[in-house]
Structure 1
Amino acid sequence: MTFEIMDYTKTNGILNHRIRFELPLNYSDSQDRREITIVATLTQLYDEAKHGDTDLAAVLPLLKNAKVIAYLQGGPGFPCTVPFAKSSFAKPLLEKDYVIIYIDQRGTGLSTPIEVGTLDVLVPRDSGTTDQDYAQQQMEYLLHFRADSIVEDFESIRTMLLGEDLKWSILGQSYGGFCSFTYLSTHAKSLKLVLITGGVPPINYGPDDVYKATYQRTKDRNVHYYNKYPGDVARVRDILEYLDSNNVTLPNGGTLSVERFQLLGIDFGHSGGTDELHQTVLKFHYDLELFGKPTYKTLYNIQNASSFDTNIIYALFQEAIYLDGNNKAVLQSNWSAERLRATETNYVFKKDADGPIYFTGEMVYKSMFDDYTELKPLKTLAHLLHKNEHWSPLYDVNTLEKLKFTDVPIVAATYYNDQYVDFDLTNKVKQQVFKGNGNLRQYITSNQFHDGLRLDSECVVGALLRLLESEVD
């Protein structure tokens, strides 16, 4: 395993080093010599006295005495954003003298990115291979891109940058919080403290449990939306009737189906999302009144409102993140969101029905692998993943329930109105896994949504750090 400095920047008092690591694809088989590239950004305040005489292009600043915190990005399948100023959650951490390491998780950003075009390169197809066999090969490769492998990448990077004995802290947002609990299950001794924002995983619960809860949360957000914009009840119905009767092609060749339009409800999960969706609905309906069809601008905005074309891991693994090899009660996802949708009212479009038609949320449906340009070639692979019953272990409950706050403190921001990570499931996990051991202490709020870390960083990070400082000597 090796690393090199790719680049460095010094802007607005921020010093960034972009570092490239060559790490194993497969940590469970020492005979597998395949490697992938992982890229991290080391971010700290620039100090002339400390850094002025250093060849920053060739030498990393010493981290031995630094407070280092590694960031686990949400997703799955999204890269980190590199800060070039004291903004977002970097600001309160840097002001507390933290050095932040942003690591593009494997398959994202600069870390061996997974797209349709790159997957063909990473998993070459031999002539004569059937679609089914090739999809099986792709799945076997992608199973190395789960939380357990992500954690091993982080551990390798910690060791290479800090040494075997020095600990670091971690901050996990959303899916990054899920990865943080995998980290705690396997390498708790490497961690000083753990901050979680909107990301306590549903340990010992499967996809059906998750989507039963999140459909209810999404229903609540739909009710709020239509109460706020009652005129959209008729507008949305008109739009869906138009889409049901017409083949609408998006600028990149994708299809705007009824189900794809309903997926815009994913915006309900962040601040201002209902207002953004109203603007989309109003514009689309206005286009129909003026021209009898949506304009290019409307279609372009809808196409770019979702991340599934550009982040295919997000679509492929959306339900797989709830499958833990240690939970033998749930072996496969079997299109959980799709199955449960049929049992929920208002989520299925019917022309002769009355009342509002609900938008869906952070859910993946079979139709997406027909509607999205970049997902179409992955349809066979998607079906294999939903049938797969062999998943790597993610969480060790015995280890987690023994962790003490004085050893590895865990503090979490839990959002009461979180559309994606259910509040009630989070509290069940706290009760059932930690069993009153004093760990997993929460900052609970209804003032922010799932994106609280990004939009209200000072409040959220400040609350977590104050909780730590009041509890830890």
Structure 2
Amino acid sequence: MAAAIQPARLISRRAHLVPGKLHVTELFFEVPKNYANPEAGTLKLFGRSVTKYDRPIVPPSPSEAAKSERRPYLVYLEGGPGFGNREPQESALTRYALERGYQLLFLDYRGTGLSTPLNAEALAREGGPQAQADYLKLFRADTIVRDSEAVRMCLTADFPEEKKKWSIFGQSFGGFVSLTYLSKYPQGLREVFLTGGLAPVRRVAEDVYRATYRKVVERNQAYYNKFPEDVETVHELVKHISSCGGLPLPAGGKLTVDRLLSLGLSFGSHGGLDGVHAVILKLAADLDQFGFFTRAALVGFEQQLPLDTNPIYAILHEAIYCYKKGISSSWAAYRVGKEIHEFSWLGGKLSFSGMMSAKAPLYFSGEMIYPSYFDSYPQLVWMKEAANILADYDGWDDLYDEQQLLRNEVPVYAASFVDDMYVDFELARETANLVKGIKVFETNSMYHNAVRARSEEVIGQLFRMRDDTID
């Protein structure tokens, strides 16, 4: 069990109404920058608490109002790593949670959203590359869980004992965080919901990427089967970009071959194939009509993978698979990928004339971060040295306690997707077998972002597993 921590300090609370009968309270908290060294300073966390707004015929008494404000919490843990939350009215979970009597909390992880942000400018204040790397080590799931537990203790301080625990709902990386929470502070949890978030608890980054590259190959095949004309189109775009030595982008940085082929990240989502085709079509139309890419096309491209505004996703992505001491990532996605024939372009092995004559498709990459990104994204350029230090680092704290998971007593309800391109289904099954009492809904009719694209089906199924009895 993890060491005890102190409650977060509530700095401010502001409430307002949002159309749709939502009562939203904006909350700022203060937590230690480093829980192992509380004197090292503090960070701010931001969250939005949401309840259903009721306007009763007879105003409630003070005691009734107080009871209403103490509804049990359900906390949404976003995917990523490195992304903040959307507005509550944009989340499908809001309606489901409020209908069941929860108050919902959207808490931005440290370094994301409106919590103390992580960017090149802020990171530079920490000092040189080693100091920056040491600071970045404080943004993984183990610290996110400490932040969450500190906030729970703060918000439920005056709750009756039976309501002090809270429920959590983890999407994707949020599920990884949830498993760390189950390992470290199960006493704070009432129940756990996971969608596409059964982390590969026992697997290193190389294992993960060998599995996910296979699924990326399948999704590339699906893409080119749907849009066979893009085989030649992608080659033409790559030839143009290469002949120019890369192209400047409106927000800075460069459009390189690696960045163009990173569009495959979207292949694992509902509608992802069509979204990538739309970007390719726009770039190709520009090239055909003007001989260059217009600003509109380049801005649209930049928005596909916003690593400049969400740098944690790049700089700590492989670190989420370093689950204990003695493990380093060492740019695993790059090392594994360049040995796979379909991704040989990673090693600079493109032969345009030969590949074009054979009409061999160029394969897009998936959820992989490559060292070259730290040369082509303006914010990441300033973090490159720190990123290399982290890639070699092997002193990570444990993320999971397998023995605690094996004796788990907290109800866990998970949705796992057979065709998940980001969290491999077979590795997810391995993890499910480690969590005592877990109930898993497995399907091959949904993709990783089903919580948004098919929310009624996936969220409904999770709550049915919670509410129904299986004899």
TM-score above 0.5: yes
- How does 1:24-103 map onto structure 2 within 5 Å? 24-30=32-38, 32-49=39-56, 65-84=70-89, 87-103=91-107
- Counterpart CA distance in 2 for 1:139 and 1:50 is 57
Correspondence for 2:302? 303
| Selected match of 2:334 from 326, 331, 338 | 338
Query: 1:169 corresponds to which residue?
Result: 167
In the comparison of the two structures, how many residue pairs are matched?
Answer: 447
Shifted more, 383-392 versus 76-85: the winner is 76-85
Number of the residue aligned with 2:4: none
Contact 1:263/1:359, CA 8 A, preserved across alignment: yes
2:76·2:104 contact (CA, 8 Å) conserved in 1? Answer: yes
Between the aligned partners of 2:68 and 2:123, the Cα distance in structure 1 is 36
The correspondence of residues 317-332 of structure 1 with structure 2, limited to 5 A, is 317-325=316-324, 328=326, 331-332=327-328
**Which residue of structure 1 lines up, in the alignment, with residue 371 of structure 2?**
366
Q: How big is each residue's C-alpha offset from its partner over 1:282-302, in whole Å with a ceiling of 9 and x where there is no partner?
A: 221222222222121111111
Give the residue type in structure 2 aligned to 1:189: Q
Aligned CA distance change for structure 1 residues 23 and 455 (closer, same or farther; 3 Å): same
Q: Within the alignment, does 1:20 sit opposite 2:20 as a pair? A: no
Alignment of 1:214-363 (within 5 A): 214-246=212-244, 247-325=246-324, 328=326, 331-349=327-345, 350=350, 351=352, 352-353=354-355, 354=358, 355-363=360-368
Contact 1:318 1:364 survives alignment (8 Å): yes
Q: Say if 1:172 and 1:180, in contact at 8 Å, map to a contact too.
A: yes
SS of residue paired to 1:196: strand
1:47 positional shift: 2.0
Deviation at 1:29, TM superposition (A): 3.0
d(CA) in 2 for partners of 1:9, 1:345: 55
Counterpart of 1:217, as a letter, is K
Equivalent residue, structure 2, for 1:423: 425
* Rounded Cα–Cα distance in structure 1 between residues aligned with 2:306 and 2:423: 19
TM-score (normalised: structure 1): 0.90
Quote the residue 1:391 is aligned against. 396
The residue type equivalent to 1:116 in the other structure is A
The answer (yes or no) to whether the contact 2:451–2:458 under 8 Å persists in 1 is yes
Q: Is the 8 A contact 2:12 2:29 kept in 1?
A: no
- Structure 1 residues 36 and 54: CA distance shift in structure 2, 3 A: farther
- Structure 2 Cα separation of the partners of residues 314 and 102 of structure 1: 19
Task: Give me the whole-angstrom Cα distance separating, in 2, the residues matched to 1:286 and 1:253.
Answer: 23
Q: 2-side partners of 1:194 and 1:42: how far apart?
A: 18
State the distance in 2 between where 1:180 and 1:464 align: 15
Structure 2 residue aligned with 1:136: 130
Indicate how the Cα distance of structure 1 residues 239 and 413 shifts in structure 2: closer, same or farther if over 3 A, else same: same
Residue 2 (structure 1) shift: 1.8
Question: Cα deviation per residue 1:24-83 (whole Å; 9 max; x = unaligned)?
Answer: 1111234x341111111111101234996799xxxx965775231111111111101121
Query: Who is 1:201 aligned against?
Result: 199
- Aligned-partner Cα distance in 2 for 1:409–1:396: 17
Question: CA RMSD of the aligned region, Å?
Answer: 2.1
Give the SS at the match of 1:447: coil
Q: Which runs of 5+ in 1 are unaligned?
A: 126-133
Conserved? CA contact 1:63–1:162, under 8 Å: no
CA distance in 1, matches of 2:58, 2:207: 51
Deviation track 1:381-401 (CA, whole Å, cap 9, x = no partner) reads: 111110111101110000000
Structure 2: stretches of 5+ with no match in the other structure: 1-7
1:150 is matched with 144
Q: How many Å separate the matches in 1 of 2:226 and 2:423?
A: 24
- Counterpart-to-counterpart distance in 1, 2:89 and 2:100: 17
Contact 2:88 2:106 in 1 (8 A): no
TM-score (norm 2): 0.91
* Cα contact 2:418–2:444 (8 A) shared by 1: yes
More deviation, 68-77/446-455: 446-455
* C-alpha distance in 2 between matches for 1:423 and 1:187: 26
**CA shift for structure 1 position 447:** 2.2
Q: What amino acid maps onto 1:81 in structure 2?
A: R
1:108 alignment counterpart: 112
